[in-house]
Amino acid sequence: MKRVLALILAAMLSLCLAACQQEENGHFALTVADHTSQEGQNGSAKEQNEIVENPNILVAYDPAQQPVKEAAGWIAQELSADLIEIGNDNNLQADQYEFVLLGFSSQDDRVSAAVEDFLERFDFGARTIYPFVLDESSDSVSVTSSVSPYSAISQLEPGARMGNDALIFTADTPQEDITDWAGGLSLTSGEPVPQAGDGNTVATAAVTPNQQQVLYLWEEGNAPAQTEYTVNNGGYSDDPDFRPYLTSYPVPEGAKVKGAVLICPGGAFQFRSDQPEGVDVAEALSALGYQSFVVDYRLRPYTQQEGALDLTRAVRFVRAHAEEYGIDPRDIAVMGFSAGGILSGEMLLNFDGNTLPTVLDPDYQPDELDQTSADAAACGMIDSFYGRLSVGTTDVELLRSGNLPPTFYCYGTRDPFYNQFLANADAAKQAGVEVERLQLDGFPHGFGASGDWIPAYDQWLRAVFAEN
């Protein structure tokens, strides 16, 4: 089955290559006119299988074509990433990486058997994959958000995130263009974190609605939890000292404020895909008039319930400061991607309204913020569903008991969980939930802000808020 899917990818790649020049989703295309010298190429290429100082990024490549090997070396050097030659990867520990840049050739409209075998042997679920593809029949290099390079990869790696931009390059592509693409992915830029000192939590900060703020959600030592996490033996993305936090993305000055949206990136509760499913979406929504907030919730070994309480806390903060943010306190929506949507559903089913964190952790000390309602007026399920990881619920009575708000489902037809999205939306509708669906034909799992779904979501959310 995987070999058949790989052949599908090959055919789709050829379509993508023909359409590269017509992409208009906010990404750029370059026409290559000059060449780098052989000396420059050889001097910059890294040795195969070099392990460097950025262990969360892996560059893996099929060495059958020299340009792919050279490009992989340049990319790994640019990102200070680990570099692995496919076929010489027996010691690879795939679970340590958050991002995978996958290089191969589309020669003769065939996907490399080596790449197919690589994806069969290693599990990159929850990782974000960015393909860089050699097209020997093309005379230009382009960056595309077309789903074509991703669809079969998503089928081979269910649950993997698909980075928004794939690189289609040629044998003559200059090194600078390739490294510019890699650097532009923003994989090595650190996310903002709360400042040290007083006033850096949602309970103590002075709100500045026109400036970005990054605030811890809980006071130090008083985060509700059942899990005792003291030592990271290498299996978790966050260390024990991680504190969940919220990052605001204000509406531009002078723009009309429509409401607020809290965004939970996905990542199978192993990672948070903050850039494609957090920052990119928050910036797009804030430009449309929504005070936007990205919630960096707790991951494994913490439970889905503990992470949901992080979102509960964030909703309470936004509602408590509705006047400062210029919103009606009723006009607050939550949304999430994949695991982030599941977490949003967990919050709405079990931890919204006036539910206190003490239902999970009796030792938690409530504060004034806990007196604020955590209700949300709308939920966005982007490649996600109500349920648990990889399993969408069809329990109509469970969904009815949650008194769920109107829910916007958006999913791609090539998502491995496509049928579950349909069944979950059907069950929610049967439970009396107002359901809106947007299907993206040909899209895989983890499409982030691409797919032009945000305008439709904006139109739907405005209508929901108008009825409050």
Backbone angles phi, psi at 35, to 5 degrees: -125, 150
Which pLDDT score is estimated for 145? 52
Mean pLDDT of 336-359: 97
Least confident of 106-110, 362-366, 404-408: 106-110
* Per-residue pLDDT tens digits for 417-454: 999 999 999 999 999 999 999 999 988 888 899 899 99
Domain with CATH 3.40.50.360 in the chain: 2-184
Which pLDDT score is estimated for 139? 59
Q: How confident is the model at residue 13 (pLDDT cuts 50, 70, 90)?
A: very low
CA–CA separation, 348 and 356 (whole Å): 13
Homologous superfamily, domain 2-184: Flavodoxin domain (3.40.50.360)
DSSP state of 78: H
CA–CA separation, 145 and 167 (whole Å): 9
Domain with CATH 3.40.50.1820 in the chain: 214-466
Which pLDDT score is estimated for 110? 56
Mean pLDDT of 40-56: 45
Statement: residue 69 has pLDDT above 60? yes
More confident residue, 4 or 344: 344
Q: Which of the residue ranges 35-39, 119-123, 313-317 has the most confident prediction, judged by mean pLDDT?
A: 313-317
In the chain, pLDDT over 70 holds for what percent of residues? 82
Least confident of 129-138, 255-264, 351-360: 129-138
Mean pLDDT of 91-101: 89
Pairing of strands 332-337, 391-392: unpaired
Mean pLDDT of 327-333: 98
CA–CA separation, 445 and 345 (whole Å): 18
Statement: residue 45 has pLDDT above 60? no
Least confident of 82-96, 99-113, 407-421, 425-439: 99-113
Q: What is the pTM of this model?
A: 0.79
Which pLDDT score is estimated for 193? 77
More confident residue, 22 or 457: 457
Q: Which of the residue ranges 100-104, 160-164, 362-366 has the most confident prediction, judged by mean pLDDT?
A: 362-366
Domain 214-466: give its CATH code. Answer: 3.40.50.1820
Among 445, 431, 340, 337, CA closest to 393: 431
Statement: residue 332 has pLDDT above 80? yes
Helix (H) or strand (E) holding 5: helix 2-19
Q: How confident is the model at residue 151 (pLDDT cuts 50, 70, 90)?
A: low
Which pLDDT score is estimated for 31? 26
Which pLDDT score is estimated for 408? 98
DSSP state of 18: H
Q: CA end-to-end span of the chain, whole Å? A: 49
Mean pLDDT of 114-141: 82
